[in-house]
Structure 1
Amino acid sequence: MADETTIILYLYKRLYQLGIRSIHGLPGDYNLVALDSLPKAGLSWVGNCNELNAGYAADGYARIKGISALITTFGVGELSALAAVAGSYSENVPVVHIVGVPSTIAQRQGALLHHTLGNGDFSVFANMSRNISKVLVNITDPTIAAREIDRALTACIVSARPVYIGLPTDMVERKIPRNGLDTPLNLSLHPNDPEVEADALEVITELIYSANNAVILVDACAIRHRVVDEVHELIDKTQLPAFVTPMSKGAVDETNPRFGGVYIGDVSRPDVKAAVESADLILSIGALKSDFNSGGFSYHTSTKRTIEFHSDHTKVGFATYPCIGMKSILRKLLDSLEFSKIRHSESAKSNPPHLANEEAEKSEGDEITHSWFWPHIGNWLQENDVVITETGTANFGILETRFPKGVTAISQVLWGSIGYSVGACQGAALAVKETDPSRRVILFVGDGSFQLTFNELSTMIRHGLKPIIVLINNDGYTIERMIHGPEESYNDIQSWKHTKVLETLGAKEGEYENYVVKTRQEVDDLFKRGNEFSKANVIQMVELFMPKMDAPRALKITGKMSEKLNARMEA
């Protein structure tokens, strides 16, 4: 009937309405019938190499599109994806995890089915996902299926967290009313209490007017909870210096003269550290003070002199305003501030844009070192590039790179799952292909990390994705060497023939290029090739050799901090 649809089509069409065009995951017998309906909703199937990679890819896709979906099968499939989904939960990334589960009849009977623990308990795996899902629903009643789907998807977007939807095989094609699809999901945030918000706004305004050298510090949740536009407007109208953290790199236009650099506590460059810590007021937006994001918890900033804007509360000094979300209060602040009353100080001005690059160019030798490479590539990056960096040297090295306007940075600083970046690159590259194919996607990954998830390059090849993959060959797990056991065998890996990987995974002649660079001159020669390299219409692998024991400045400091934190014993 025209006024009916199936449960699976209702779900898929909602995903389509939210901007999703491709679904990541793997087939399994409990989700096969559900996969049959993807084309009917205008959705494409990706088909990853394994569920872990699929989860990483869904994370990368969501960071470009704003939401993604992942389909796995019951038990063996969903558990394989959990490390990736947990990373999305940790880092506030909205991923819809759809799990095909055995029929409601089999569940009621406690049938001894494959992919179970053999004990008749069909809830055990969903319960494992409960603490890494904002909402967990199992579709067992068609009369409320549409409502449950809408509830889960709304929570996914609004909370910027993964949700879990369990879909039994006998529910997939059950008919339900389709009229709900005519009404868009209500994705509006819960309104702030007007009286409490007005009180907070008054206090914040007075603090800003009385400050002599205020600064803006932007963190990850400003991106995840969609206040980047408000942040840029705040910077432009107040003309206050703005700094980012490792997790929010790329959130602020780094060509803006008010951009001051990356603040990481004691790991910061000296000029950045001095500018932030000398400020008499810090407007902190979306803070997420994890160890690697805060320089091993080494912030030297005063709570009394900090205003924290969060998605679900606001803090002014030691006072907390519960349920006063930053989206609303930042907008009201922008509409009410008299910007002529805001004072500025030279002590908090932004650092010279090319300081790190000038230092790098002065370094001697032709060996490719981290201190030379990362500032140097800022000259090669282009506006609107998508830059993905792996947990390891790349995550820390990219902090020294000055981005052109519009660059999107993808990394996993908090969850820090080694191998994440290759899957995330596939997801991000697919999202870019769907939205703006003119953007370049560039992956920086170490040789150790690459070995965990390299097979996802075959998915990129199959879907005609064309990222530039810069593989840093430094003979093992350098990030671990910087923390502990620099010469221990557990930080070593088997050497691979990286220039054979694309061909081995099925790339045909003319569909790929390989490059090997071992000197600074070879790096520059490659970057100068223009469209032949920088905008080539093929997937490219660049094997870039660096010394085994070399590391970015920030990683060397953070590694020592981590070793001390790991060894700390109770008093």
Structure 2
Amino acid sequence: MTFTVADYVLTRLAQQRVDALFGVPGAYCADLFGATAAHGITAVVTASDLEAGYAADGYARTKGLGAVAVANGVGVLSMINAIGGAFVERSPVVVLNGGPSCAHLDKLKKFDVLFSHSTGRPDADLTAYKLVTASAVRAEKAADVPALVDGALTTALRTKKPVYVEIAEDLWTKACPSPTGSLSAAVPPSGTEKQLAAAIVAQIRAATSPVLLIGAEVQRYGLADRVADLIAKLGVRWSSALLAKSTLPEQGNGWVGVYDPPHSAPAAADAVEHADLLVTLGCVFPSGYAHLVTGGSDHIIAAYDGKVKIRTGAKQNAEIGALVTALVTEAAKAPPRPSPPALTSPAPGPPTGALTYRGVFERIAAALDASWIVVPDIFLGVYSAANLPVKGRDAFLCSAVWASIGHSVAASVGAAFGSSRRPLVICGDGGFHMTAQALSTMARYNRNPVVIVIDNALYAYEQFLVDGDYFTHPGTPPTPYLTLNKWNFTQLAQGLGLTSAQSVNTEADFDTALAAAKASAEPALIAAEIDPHDLPAELP
């Protein structure tokens, strides 16, 4: 039997433990989907192109590498938002696009005949994806495929960013040699790491109140154990950015909480903002962190994107894995400083009264155990989600920097395939409107996320930013363009294939609904009805 281009691509993916291909199949990539089963890969057909991108992103964050294929033009351009978020937040997704054949391109050039889904510009998809990937390439001949695919996958593994591979639609079934050798994700050290580590550790030991802030690259590059060892050997206080929440278990000496400005928990804000030396390790900073990083460069050491910047000095090359190893070695040369015990969250009390934001998050906190991966959306409760007492490592997934609403519901589809934990989604109703169809994918593939929707018929986060006085004056109407059409969430969920869906408005009923959802092996939806004037406890 002929080994084909599709076989080559899928073999390389399977070698990296990829066992799901997300997408909405179009004719241009049909042969790729048709070959998946022979390679032990499940073709997960989603309800929209955007969902496919988010799902592949959620899978990549939990499994290490994701893959997605949708129709050229209409599909990949619809999905570009999801891949933009993966690029910003260091999530290695492989976008596989069935592109136009040479014959298509020739007819376009000579006769202005548009191939299917064409804009009339032959490189539209390729050009667009160059903006949101670490590598974007096109294969026009079968002979090109091995080198282009291997190069793209290697780039994804090394940079932890998405890549784009466009393969002409008539190539999938063409003969292709089998892969040889294995792909290496190793990034060679720069040779500066030991020297930089000595300087950094010396400055930490000389500081009075140093803090280590952990970023997403620590998780993406598999450095959590080494960083935990570093913290222990230094005796340093530590925090994490929201994107990196639960990269390490949130316990142990020195833990001060998640730093998520401008509404961080007081202990985390005080520790990070008043540190006389802040070492940020693998952090990607959104605008909320601007005041911290622009106003304190004279006392910040930053390591990210293959660079190290010590205070106001110039950036220097340094591979983060080699740097962390060197930091651990250097830290072991002297005993650790005494560090305070970990910050602990107060135990939630029993359920009382009507549901509020505070009540929803307290009830979730009471129910959390090591079986869950919490997947909050970007909504008014995201600052509450930052303080949830998740259990263990890799128990949290969020679009914390790109901040695209609706990410959570669709990303949980991918997480349900990529993680051994069960996704617990917490989403505003505005974000849920964006990707509600993902419930259908959960039901079709027997995946069991539990989706909690905050039902207040309002784009509440935008209302808070546009006119926060609304929340302190109960009789005030909301900004008209921020109101939502009120959905019947239970009927919608049932129509999309969920048998477990209910709406609740008291803490006691919420507890009962969440316990029932956890006891079931099926996906579930809980609509939590709250007063639209209510605010989370973390907001003024």
- TM-score above 0.5: yes
**1:500 match:** 491
Q: Does 1:478 pair with 2:460?
A: yes
The DSSP-based 3-state class of the residue aligned with 2:427 is strand
**Paired residue for 2:317?**
323
Q: Secondary structure at the match of 1:314?
A: strand
Structure 2 Cα separation of the partners of residues 339 and 553 of structure 1: 44
Shift in alpha-carbon separation, 1:40–1:352, aligned structure 2, 3 A? closer
Residue in structure 1 matching 2:28, options 17, 27, 30:
30
Deviation at 1:525, TM superposition (A): 4.2
Q: 2: distance between equivalents of 1:74 and 1:222?
A: 34
Q: What is the RMSD computed on CA atoms of the aligned residues?
A: 2.3
Determine helix, strand or coil for the equivalent of 1:46.
strand
Give 1:340 shift.
Answer: 4.0
Cα distance per residue 1:467-499 (max 9 Å; x no partner): 111111122211111111551121111111111
Q: Give me the whole-angstrom Cα distance separating, in 2, the residues matched to 1:217 and 1:407.
A: 17
Once the two structures are superposed, the pairs formed by residues 393-404 of structure 1 within 5 Å of their partners are 393-404=380-391
**Aligned residue for 1:150?**
150
Instruction: Tell me the equivalent position of 1:560.
Output: none
CA distance in 1, matches of 2:174, 2:506: 62
Aligned residue identity for 1:406: R
Aligned with 1:369 (options 340, 349, 356): 356
* Number of the residue aligned with 1:564: none
The C-alpha deviation readout for 1:427-451, integer Å capped at 9, x for no partner, is 111223xxx3xx3221111112111
Q: In the TM superposition, what is the alpha-carbon distance from 1:513 to its structure 2 partner?
A: 1.8
Tell me if the contact between 1:28 and 1:72 (Cα under 8 Å) persists in the aligned partners: yes
Give the stretch that moved more between structures: 109-118 or 253-262: 109-118
Q: Distance in 2 between matches of 1:85 and 1:490?
A: 28
Indicate the SS of the match to 2:325: helix
- Change in Cα spacing, 1:460 to 1:312, as seen in structure 2 (3 Å) is same
CA distance in 2, matches of 1:431, 1:287: 23
- Other structure's SS at 1:418 match: coil
Partner of 1:277: 273
What is the DSSP-based 3-state SS (H/G/I as helix, E as strand, rest coil) of the residue aligned with 2:96? strand
Contact 1:440-1:467 at 8 Å conserved across structures: yes
Deviation digits for residues 218-261 of structure 1 (CA, Å, limit 9, x no counterpart): 12232233322222222233232211122221122113243211
User: Counterpart of 1:562?
Assistant: none
Contact kept in structure 1, 2:93 and 2:161, CA below 8 Å = yes
The two structures have a TM-score, normalised by structure 2, of: 0.92
Q: Which runs of structure 1 show a deviation greater than 6 angstroms over 4 or more consecutive aligned residues?
A: none
Deviation track 1:331-364 (CA, whole Å, cap 9, x = no partner) reads: 012123236444346xxx4664125x57xx59x9
Q: What's the TM-score once normalised by structure 1's chain length?
A: 0.87
1:332 maps to 326
Matched, 1:198 2:198: no
1 CA distance for matches of 2:375 and 2:483? 24
Counterpart of 2:481 in structure 1 is 490
Map residues 153-302 of structure 1 onto 2, 5 A cutoff. Answer: 153-178=153-178, 181-193=179-191, 196-292=192-288, 294=289, 297-298=291-292, 302=296
- Cα distance change of structure 1 residues 16 and 394 upon mapping to structure 2, 3 Å threshold: farther
Alignment map for 1:425-440 (pairs within 5 Å)? 425-432=412-419, 436=420, 439-440=421-422
Change (3 A) 1:74 1:338: closer
Return closer, same or farther for 1:29/1:124 CA change in 2, 3 Å cut-off.
same
Pair 1:417–1:55, CA change in 2 (3 A): same
1:63 aligned partner: 61
Percent identity of paired positions between Structure 1 and Structure 2: 24
Between the two proteins, the alignment pairs up a number of residues equal to 528
Q: Secondary structure at the match of 1:457?
A: helix
Q: Deviations over 1:57-76 (max 9, x none)?
A: 11111111111111012211
TM-fit CA distance, 1:365: 6.7
CA displacement, residues 266-320 of structure 1 (integer Å, 9 cap, x when unaligned): 532322222223333222111222124x2x6356973233222224011221223
Most deviating of 143-152 and 373-382: 373-382
1:444 aligns with 2:426: yes
Cα distance in 1 for partners of 2:365, 2:333 equals 33
Using the alignment, how far apart are the partners of 1:366 and 1:307 within structure 2?
47
Equivalent residue letter for 2:116? H
* CA distance 1:326–1:515, shift in 2 (3 Å): same
Q: Given the superposition, is the C-alpha separation of residues 257 and 385 from structure 1 closer, same or farther in structure 2, using an over 3 Å criterion?
A: farther
Work out whether 1:539 is the aligned partner of 2:523: yes
Question: 1: CA distance between counterparts of 2:371 and 2:323?
Answer: 29
The residue type equivalent to 2:366 in the other structure is N
Give the letter aligned to residue 86 of structure 1: G
Distance 2:35 2:106 in 1: 26
Instruction: Indicate the residue corresponding to 1:565 in structure 2.
Output: none
- 1:567 paired residue number: none
Contact 2:100 2:115 in 1 (8 A): no
Q: Please state if 1:459 is matched with 2:441.
A: yes
User: Aligned in 2, Cα 1:32/1:280: closer, same or farther, shift over 3 Å?
Assistant: same
- Gaps spanning 5+ residues in structure 2: where? 471-477
1:5 Cα deviation after fit: 2.5
**Cα distance in 2, alignment partners of residues 523 and 116 from structure 1:** 46
Q: Match of 2:283, as an amino acid?
A: A
One-letter code aligned to 1:538: E
CA distance, structure 2, for counterparts of residue 456 and residue 133 of structure 1: 25
Are 2:129 and 1:129 equivalent residues in the alignment?
yes
Please state how far the C-alpha of 1:375 moved relative to its aligned partner.
4.1
Unaligned runs of 5+ in 1: 558-571
Match of residue 141 from structure 1: 141
